[in-house]
Chains A and B, each alone.
Chain A
Amino acid sequence: MADLTTDFLGIKSPNPFWLASAPPTDKEYNVRRAFEAGWGGVVWKTLGSEGPPVVNVNGPRYGAIFGADRRLLGLNNIELITDRPLEVNLEEMARVKADYPDRALIASIMVPCEEQAWKDILPRVEETGADGIELNFGCPHGMAERGMGSAVGQVPEYIEMVVRWCKKYYDRPVIVKLTPNITDIRKPAQAARNGGADAVSLINTINSITSVNLDAMSPEPMIDGKGTHGGYCGPAVKPIAMNMVAEIARDPGTRGMPISGIGGVTTWRDAAEFMALGCGNVQVCTAVMTYGFKIVDEMKSGLSQWMDEKGYTSTSDFVGMAVPNVTDWQYLNLNYVAKAKINQDACISCGRCYAACEDTSHQAIAMTPDRTFSVIDAECVACNLCVDVCPVEDCITMEAMAPGTIDPRTGKIVQAEYANWTTHPNNPGAVAAE
């Protein structure tokens, strides 16, 4: 049985599955239940400064995108940071950490961009025994209008400045949570590292309008006839999150910096993919808000089974293993030639591959009157669209052509040697191949 124990910034947790700072981690009751359910750690819902807490809307806070059978694919929210008094949260955090010393407990913090505000709150957080802090520089709604959250995360200089204050007034690990609402995710990550951050976590939620109420002509969630943009999360954002994680993992300015992966992690496989791209652990929110805390059982058993099958004994065995294979388009092998192949035994003759290829792609699938579908190699560019629209898994596959054979589309012999765009004759800026 694989060992799921994780050491992230020296913070030990029995597994790499943490709950992200969000409603599930807003109070002692939830967090105790999460730990009892088996979660490895939690990032407590974001604390604000002392004084009157923030208020939330009293109407709907969430909007959603659904797939087949109302499967929740994307969720957005307009909830703010914790609306409970700071003292209450701190007391609860201290009690929970004392009772669950083996679990990670991180405090998420968002206070104004003033040194004094950070100087005031950090010692009090430290007293709770929390294992570290996560700076919420990502929240894209509400708090950003007050100069916090993503308003800070979008300005690398501010990130670096605040991180320096935190490292000055706080001794334990500092994680910077990044907003994806920015053009180049590497810049805030570099700023975090320059400021001395121990890690980054990403992504926070994405600015979004999930739907429009066509009767009221208002965005949803609708509060008395009006809506605002909210933070988008859930399975739909995972591809965006993974790209940003990979960018940071392979950037010379941030390479090697620990990453906590967030964004649509729903199953063990999602977690394994984020970790393969360089994340030391993952944080989960939407999946538990959809299915409850129990899903961690599947995440633990699934990751463990996969690790056993692959021969990994520790999560550190595979963390970052996919990073070297993330490259730029210009370095992809242009001599690699594949063709789609349809397994006639598996085919159920729905014709979706045909419609997709014939109407929108390369007219590379033939159809007979008895509904047999086959690939025309002379037209197929191996775009993969047929694979993606086929309802039967593995019915259509992409088969590499052996070097030395002739590609019927181009009439050229498939070359065994690697060659990319940088040396391609069509590239005006090509450098001569040596």
Chain B
Amino acid sequence: MTSSTAPGLAAGRLDAESLATGFADLHAPLDAHEVLVAADRCYFCYDAPCVTACPTSIDIPLFIRQIATGTSLSAGQTIFDANILGGMCARVCPTEDLCEGACVREAAEGKPVQIGRLQRHATDTVMARQGHPFVRATSTGKRVAVVGAGPAGLSCAHRLAMLGHDVVLYDARLKPGGLNEYGIAAYKSTNGFAQREVDWLLGIGGIDLHTGKALGADLRLDALADEFDAVFLGTGLGGVNALGIPGDDLAGVADAVSFIADLRQSTDLTTLPVGRNVVVIGGGMTAVDAAVQSKLLGAENVTIAYRRGREAMGASRYEQDLAASKGVKLMFNVQPHAVREGAIDLEYTSDDGTGLCGTGEVISLPVDQVFRAIGQNLTTDGGLTVEGRKIKVTGAGRTTRAGVWAGGDCAQGGDDLTVTAVAEGRDAAMDIHATMMEGN
């Protein structure tokens, strides 16, 4: 075994047992008793703020009351009616910023109802059963192409299949799931949950999945638009923003999303190399996911370098504290200045109201691995109108081209969250359905 202080990039800094412990479920499922105690705390608010805060508008007070009264299957059904990826959302949603942040008990006592974990209980209960809980409507004979099998595409495909349409679902990668499979910290989606969830979702039938098919390479939007009654694009963001500093192209500099994808696809984490000294540039969830997982792989020093103050950070306070609890150092108001062999120079920043600028003061940290996590960009627009670096949409995901819808990270609107993508996919499906069935 390599030690955590071994220089440079090295695999096996921790033994398999330590890695298994570190990458275990961040929030273990509540047991039966804990579920009842947690469910009892819900006040069943009128026009509940948690529902308003949920991008998919899950009827949270209802599903918690269903759990409390011993009908968790019904609770799961309530969740899936609104959000077919309710299982993943229960694991990865920043609930502290959404439902739980809006919970009146958060206001009252700083301890919200554990909505995320209750949702996991209910969705796990349904998914543990044989079969699929939704039935397809009579076939409409309509065919829809859904490009991208991430949260938006899966949500859209399921809803369309349920409404009786036939769906062909494409994804550029070899596995479906999108960021659920490739882009989320391993400890949030353990035991192959992302693939299990996709398999379960496809159980509705009527969805023909083709992987390894990328828009722009293997697929053309014009051809899809000709062949199908409608097209939905949920292709996400493909590129990673560059640092734009000297040394950006050095060997130890990589994209955080690639590191996370490699980690998620690794079958033996003891073989995955990580630096002794790691610096992650950025302030979002991806930065935290990359930093924490570097630490869990055995890196000695992991630093998140963010160019603004803590309040401006995209990652929630909960995520920041999670990183700190794992031993990640958070540095604020520093921006990358240059990467050199074995070191990174960070320049302090200030903002006097006219915009962020460097102060000239530079601090150098030893570094073997630098991860870029300063946002992603659109690589595939299919020739559609782009506005603000995203595919322009109006209403429920309508692009500027008739018969083509878009949702999720590649399209305008909402935060780049799993749950937002699910909502957009679902709503686009309803709009596609209404449009296709007009006059029928």
Give residues in A with beta carbon < 8 Å to B. 68-70, 348-352, 354-355, 367, 371, 391-392
Can you list 29 A-B contacts with CB-CB less than 8 angstroms, sorted by A residue number? A68-B41, A69-B36, A69-B37, A69-B40, A70-B36, A348-B105, A348-B107, A348-B108, A349-B45, A349-B104, A349-B107, A350-B45, A350-B46, A350-B104, A351-B45, A351-B46, A351-B48, A352-B43, A352-B44, A352-B46, A354-B46, A355-B46, A367-B46, A367-B47, A371-B47, A371-B49, A391-B43, A391-B108, A392-B108
Report the separation of the CA atoms of residues A361 and B410 in the bound assembly, to the nearest whole angstrom.
49
Report the separation of the CA atoms of residues A367 and B46 in the bound assembly, to the nearest whole angstrom.
10
Task: Determine which of B36, B40, B49 lies in contact with A349 in the assembled complex, contact meaning CB atoms within 8 Å.
Answer: B49
- Please, which residue of chain B has its CB at the minimum distance from the CB of A365? B46
Residues of chain A with a CB closer than 8 A to B47's CB: 351, 367, 371
User: Taking the nearest CB of chain A, how far is it from the CB of B321, in angstroms?
Assistant: 24
Residues of chain A with a CB closer than 8 A to B46's CB: 350-352, 354-355, 367
Report the separation of the CA atoms of residues A350 and B40 in the bound assembly, to the nearest whole angstrom.
15
Report the separation of the CA atoms of residues A355 and B48 in the bound assembly, to the nearest whole angstrom.
11
A352 and B45: CB pair below 8 A? yes
Report the separation of the CA atoms of residues A273 and B51 in the bound assembly, to the nearest whole angstrom.
42
- Please, which residue of chain A has its CB at the minimum distance from the CB of B108? A348
A350 and B36: CB pair below 8 A? no
Report the separation of the CA atoms of residues A397 and B45 in the bound assembly, to the nearest whole angstrom.
20
Task: Determine which of A69, A70, A348 lies in contact with B104 in the assembled complex, contact meaning CB atoms within 8 Å.
Answer: A348
Residues of chain B with a CB closer than 8 A to A391's CB: 43, 108
The total of Cβ contacts below 8 Å across the A-B interface reads: 35
Report the separation of the CA atoms of residues A350 and B103 in the bound assembly, to the nearest whole angstrom.
9
Inter-chain pairs besides A349-B107, A352-B44, 18 sampled, C-beta below 8 Å: A68-B41, A69-B37, A70-B36, A348-B104, A348-B105, A348-B107, A348-B108, A349-B45, A349-B49, A350-B43, A350-B104, A351-B46, A352-B46, A354-B46, A367-B46, A371-B47, A391-B43, A392-B108
User: Taking the nearest CB of chain A, how far is it from the CB of B62, in angstroms?
Assistant: 13
Residues of chain A with a CB closer than 8 A to B37's CB: 69
Report the separation of the CA atoms of residues A354 and B44 in the bound assembly, to the nearest whole angstrom.
12
Give residues in B with beta carbon < 8 Å to A. 36-37, 40-41, 43-49, 104-105, 107-108
- Please, which residue of chain A has its CB at the minimum distance from the CB of B46? A351
Residues of chain A with a CB closer than 8 A to B104's CB: 348-350
Report the separation of the CA atoms of residues A349 and B44 in the bound assembly, to the nearest whole angstrom.
12
Report the separation of the CA atoms of residues A68 and B49 in the bound assembly, to the nearest whole angstrom.
22
Report the separation of the CA atoms of residues A425 and B149 in the bound assembly, to the nearest whole angstrom.
75
User: Taking the nearest CB of chain A, how far is it from the CB of B32, in angstroms?
Assistant: 12
Residues of chain B with a CB closer than 8 A to A348's CB: 104-105, 107-108
Report the separation of the CA atoms of residues A295 and B107 in the bound assembly, to the nearest whole angstrom.
33
User: Taking the nearest CB of chain B, how far is it from the CB of A215, in angstroms?
Assistant: 12
Residues of chain B with a CB closer than 8 A to A392's CB: 108
User: Taking the nearest CB of chain B, how far is it from the CB of A76, in angstroms?
Assistant: 21
User: Taking the nearest CB of chain B, how far is it from the CB of A368, in angstroms?
Assistant: 12
Residues of chain A with a CB closer than 8 A to B44's CB: 352
Residues of chain A with a CB closer than 8 A to B48's CB: 351
Report the separation of the CA atoms of residues A175 and B373 in the bound assembly, to the nearest whole angstrom.
81
Report the separation of the CA atoms of residues A353 and B45 in the bound assembly, to the nearest whole angstrom.
9
Report the separation of the CA atoms of residues A349 and B107 in the bound assembly, to the nearest whole angstrom.
9
Report the separation of the CA atoms of residues A367 and B47 in the bound assembly, to the nearest whole angstrom.
11
- Please, which residue of chain A has its CB at the minimum distance from the CB of B41? A68
Report the separation of the CA atoms of residues A48 and B323 in the bound assembly, to the nearest whole angstrom.
70
Report the separation of the CA atoms of residues A69 and B47 in the bound assembly, to the nearest whole angstrom.
25
- Please, which residue of chain A has its CB at the minimum distance from the CB of B43? A350
- Please, which residue of chain B has its CB at the minimum distance from the CB of A354? B46
- Please, which residue of chain B has its CB at the minimum distance from the CB of A395? B108
Report the separation of the CA atoms of residues A352 and B105 in the bound assembly, to the nearest whole angstrom.
13
Closest 10 CB pairs of A and B: A351-B46, A355-B46, A68-B40, A348-B108, A348-B104, A350-B45, A350-B104, A348-B107, A350-B43, A354-B46
Residues of chain A with a CB closer than 8 A to B36's CB: 69-70
Residues of chain A with a CB closer than 8 A to B107's CB: 348-349
Residues of chain A with a CB closer than 8 A to B45's CB: 349-352
User: Taking the nearest CB of chain B, how far is it from the CB of A327, in angstroms?
Assistant: 36
Residues of chain A with a CB closer than 8 A to B40's CB: 68-69
User: Taking the nearest CB of chain A, how far is it from the CB of B177, in angstroms?
Assistant: 37
Report the separation of the CA atoms of residues A403 and B40 in the bound assembly, to the nearest whole angstrom.
43
User: Taking the nearest CB of chain A, how far is it from the CB of B352, in angstroms?
Assistant: 33
Report the separation of the CA atoms of residues A70 and B45 in the bound assembly, to the nearest whole angstrom.
22
- Please, which residue of chain B has its CB at the minimum distance from the CB of A71? B40
- Please, which residue of chain B has its CB at the minimum distance from the CB of A356? B46
Report the separation of the CA atoms of residues A392 and B43 in the bound assembly, to the nearest whole angstrom.
11
Report the separation of the CA atoms of residues A41 and B37 in the bound assembly, to the nearest whole angstrom.
37
Report the separation of the CA atoms of residues A350 and B44 in the bound assembly, to the nearest whole angstrom.
8
User: Taking the nearest CB of chain A, how far is it from the CB of B48, in angstroms?
Assistant: 8
Residues of chain B with a CB closer than 8 A to A68's CB: 40-41
User: Taking the nearest CB of chain B, how far is it from the CB of A371, in angstroms?
Assistant: 7
Residues of chain B with a CB closer than 8 A to A69's CB: 36-37, 40
- Please, which residue of chain B has its CB at the minimum distance from the CB of A359? B46
- Please, which residue of chain B has its CB at the minimum distance from the CB of A392? B108
**Residue from B40, B44, B46 whose CB has the most chain A CB atoms within 10 Å:** B46
- Please, which residue of chain A has its CB at the minimum distance from the CB of B109? A348
Report the separation of the CA atoms of residues A349 and B105 in the bound assembly, to the nearest whole angstrom.
10
User: Taking the nearest CB of chain B, how far is it from the CB of A188, in angstroms?
Assistant: 40
- Please, which residue of chain B has its CB at the minimum distance from the CB of A346? B108
Report the separation of the CA atoms of residues A348 and B102 in the bound assembly, to the nearest whole angstrom.
11
- Please, which residue of chain B has its CB at the minimum distance from the CB of A349? B104
- Please, which residue of chain B has its CB at the minimum distance from the CB of A391? B43
Report the separation of the CA atoms of residues A391 and B104 in the bound assembly, to the nearest whole angstrom.
10
User: Taking the nearest CB of chain A, how far is it from the CB of B53, in angstroms?
Assistant: 12
Residues of chain B with a CB closer than 8 A to A371's CB: 47, 49
Residues of chain A with a CB closer than 8 A to B108's CB: 348, 391-392
- Please, which residue of chain A has its CB at the minimum distance from the CB of B44? A352
Report the separation of the CA atoms of residues A68 and B113 in the bound assembly, to the nearest whole angstrom.
14
User: Taking the nearest CB of chain B, how far is it from the CB of A19, in angstroms?
Assistant: 31
- Please, which residue of chain B has its CB at the minimum distance from the CB of A353? B46
Report the separation of the CA atoms of residues A371 and B103 in the bound assembly, to the nearest whole angstrom.
13
- Please, which residue of chain B has its CB at the minimum distance from the CB of A70? B36
User: Taking the nearest CB of chain B, how far is it from the CB of A98, in angstroms?
Assistant: 46
Report the separation of the CA atoms of residues A155 and B40 in the bound assembly, to the nearest whole angstrom.
44
Report the separation of the CA atoms of residues A367 and B48 in the bound assembly, to the nearest whole angstrom.
13
Report the separation of the CA atoms of residues A392 and B109 in the bound assembly, to the nearest whole angstrom.
11
Report the separation of the CA atoms of residues A392 and B107 in the bound assembly, to the nearest whole angstrom.
12
Report the separation of the CA atoms of residues A371 and B36 in the bound assembly, to the nearest whole angstrom.
28
Residues of chain A with a CB closer than 8 A to B105's CB: 348
